[in-house]
Amino acid sequence: MRAYNFSAGPAMLPTAVMEQAQAEFLEYPNEYASVMEISHRGDAFLSILSAAESDVRELLQLPNNYHVLFLPGGASAQFFAVPMNLCGKQTKVAYANTGLWSQKAMQEAKRYADVVEVTQLQETDYVSIPASHTWTQVNDAAYLHYTDNETVSGIEFNFIPQASHVTLVSDMSSNIFSRVFDVTQFGLIYAGAQKNSGPAGFALVIVRDDLIGQALKITPSLFDYALQVKAHSSLNTPPTYNIYLAALCFRWLKQQGGVAAIEKINARKAQKLYAVIDRYPELYRNRIDVSCRSRMNVTFALPNDTLHARFLQQSAALGLINLEGHRTYGGMRASLYNAMPEAGVDLLVSFMKDFASAV
C-alpha cells in the first residue's frame, strides 16, 4: 500500500531498506537490542559507521585526502559551519545566488564574512543559470559557494563552475549520489541527508584535508571539522539510528550498480516527465530554461486553482502523493530522487496524459 511519494524531503526511502530496518528493528544481529539502544562507542555501531563511510568513499570515488563526516544540524548548519571553518585569515567569500537555498546559505555566511555575490539574479530570474564566465571574478575569496541543485524552483547546474584561484564549495543536498562528478574539483561538499542519503538528522560533509584545522575561534567544537575528523563524527552522541539507515541506503545504492547506474535511471525518469510537460505546454507550464532543468525536482504549474486542486486530488487517489509545490512558488513539484522507482514516474506520466485528455 506504499504510495509513490514525490516529496522534496524528507523523501522516499528504498523499500528494501525499510524492510531490512523493520526486520532488525527490535534486535540488531548479535546485539539483542535495537541499533537505537546500543552505545555509539561499541563495536556494532562503530562498524555501521565505518561501513557508511567506506560506502560513501566508494560511491563517490573519494581520494584519501578527503574526509567524510556526518554532522548535526542538517545542511542549514553547514551554512554557518562552512564560513567558520574555511575563512581562516581571509574575510571575503564568494556566493553564486541561483535560488532560495543559495540565498539562505549566503545570508548566514554574512554573519562571519564579507560576501561577494557573483551572480546578480533577482528572485524572478531564478529560471536559468548564467554561464560561469559572466560571474564576477573574485580571486581573493576564501571560497566560492554554489548550490548544485535548487530544490525549490527546480534548477540544476549542468556544469562545474571554473574556480581555479579559489576553493570550490557546493551544497549538493538534493542531488548528491544522483550522477557521477569529479570530486577533486571541490574543496568541500555538503548535503542534508533526507533526500538521497537517508532520513533527516545529519549532514554529510566531504572536506579536503588541507582545508581543516583553521576554524575561527568562535566555532563551536561540534562544528569544527578538524575536531570532528579526529572524533570520527562522534564528538557528541551522533544520530545513530539515522546513520544506520543511511548506511543501508548506501549499500542499496551499491547494489543498484552505484552512482553511474542510477544516473542513467535518473536521466530517464526526468526525461519522461519533461516530455509529457512539453507535450501539453498549455496545461503544464515549466518556467525553467531547458539547459538547467533539474533532474531531481521537476516543477510545473497548471493554469488555474481549479485544475491545480483537481490534479492533486486525482493523482493522490492513484497513490501519487506530495506533488504540491513549495509554498514560495506554488504549482507542482515532483521530486525524483534515487529511491523513486521508475514505475512511479511511469504512473505519474500516464496520469498526466489522461488528465490532459480529460480537460
Q: Are 40 and 238 in contact (CB under 8 A)?
A: yes
Q: Report the residue number, 14 or 201, with the smaller CB distance to ligand PMP.
A: 201
Furthest-apart CA atoms within the chain: distance in Å: 63
Q: Report the residue number, 147 or 228, with the smaller CB distance to ligand PMP.
A: 147
Report the residue from 7, 97, 132, 151 that binds ligand PMP according to the rule CB under 6 A: 151
Q: How far is the CB of 175 from ligand PMP (least distance, A)?
A: 8
Amino acid at 141: A
Q: Tell me whether residue 110 is one of the annotated catalytic residues.
A: no
Report the residue from 14, 74, 83, 187 that binds ligand PMP according to the rule CB under 6 A: 74
Helix or strand (DSSP H, E) at 265: helix 258-279
Neighbours of 303 (CB within 10 A): 12
Q: Are 113 and 87 in contact (CB under 8 A)?
A: yes
Q: Report the residue number, 201 or 355, with the smaller CB distance to ligand PMP.
A: 201
For the segment 91-130, give every residue that binds ligand PMP (CB under 6 A). Answer: 101
Neighbours of 2 (CB within 10 A): 9
Q: How far is the CB of 79 from ligand PMP (least distance, A)?
A: 8
Axis-axis angle for helices 240-255, 258-279 (nearest 10)? 80
Q: Is 75 in the site for ligand PMP (CB under 6 A)?
A: yes
Q: How far is the CB of 317 from ligand PMP (least distance, A)?
A: 27
Distance, in Å, from the CA atom of 79 to the CA atom of 104, rounded to the nearest integer, reads 8
Q: Is 322 in the site for ligand PMP (CB under 6 A)?
A: no
Residue 156 phi/psi, 5-degree rounding, is: -135, 140
Q: Tell me whether residue 171 is one of the annotated catalytic residues.
A: yes
Report the residue from 147, 170, 228, 294 that binds ligand PMP according to the rule CB under 6 A: 147
Q: Which stretch binds ligand PMP (CB under 6 A): 23-31, 35-43, 59-67, 69-77?
A: 69-77
Q: Are 288 and 155 in contact (CB under 8 A)?
A: yes
Distance, in Å, from the CA atom of 206 to the CA atom of 95, rounded to the nearest integer, reads 19
Residue given cell 500516464 in the structure block = 350
- Binding residues for ligand PMP, how many (CB under 6 A)? 11
Q: How far is the CB of 338 from ligand PMP (least distance, A)?
A: 15
Q: Report the residue number, 101 or 351, with the smaller CB distance to ligand PMP.
A: 101
Spot the catalytic one: 135, 148, 195, 269: 195
Q: Tell me whether residue 114 is one of the annotated catalytic residues.
A: no
For the segment 167-186, give every residue that binds ligand PMP (CB under 6 A). Answer: 171, 173-174
Q: Is 9 in the site for ligand PMP (CB under 6 A)?
A: yes
Distance, in Å, from the CA atom of 259 to the CA atom of 180, rounded to the nearest integer, reads 6
Q: How far is the CB of 343 from ligand PMP (least distance, A)?
A: 25
Helix or strand (DSSP H, E) at 114: strand 114-117
Q: Is 324 in the site for ligand PMP (CB under 6 A)?
A: no
Q: What is the grid cell recorded at 255?
A: 547494489
Sign of the Cα torsion 113, 119, 122, 125 reads: negative
State the residue number with the nearest CB to ligand PMP: 74
Q: How far is the CB of 205 from ligand PMP (least distance, A)?
A: 12
Q: How far is the CB of 9 from ligand PMP (least distance, A)?
A: 5
List beta partners, residue 335: 297
Helix or strand (DSSP H, E) at 227: helix 225-230
Q: Report the residue number, 146 or 351, with the smaller CB distance to ligand PMP.
A: 146
Spot the catalytic one: 135, 171, 252, 269: 171
Question: 273-299: buried (b, 16+ CB within 10 Å) or exposed (e) per residue?
Answer: bbebbeebeebbebbbeeebbbbbbbb
Q: Report the residue number, 75 or 352, with the smaller CB distance to ligand PMP.
A: 75
Residue numbers annotated as active site: 101, 171, 195
State the residues that interact with ligand PMP by CB under 6 A: 9, 74-76, 101, 147, 151, 171, 173-174, 192
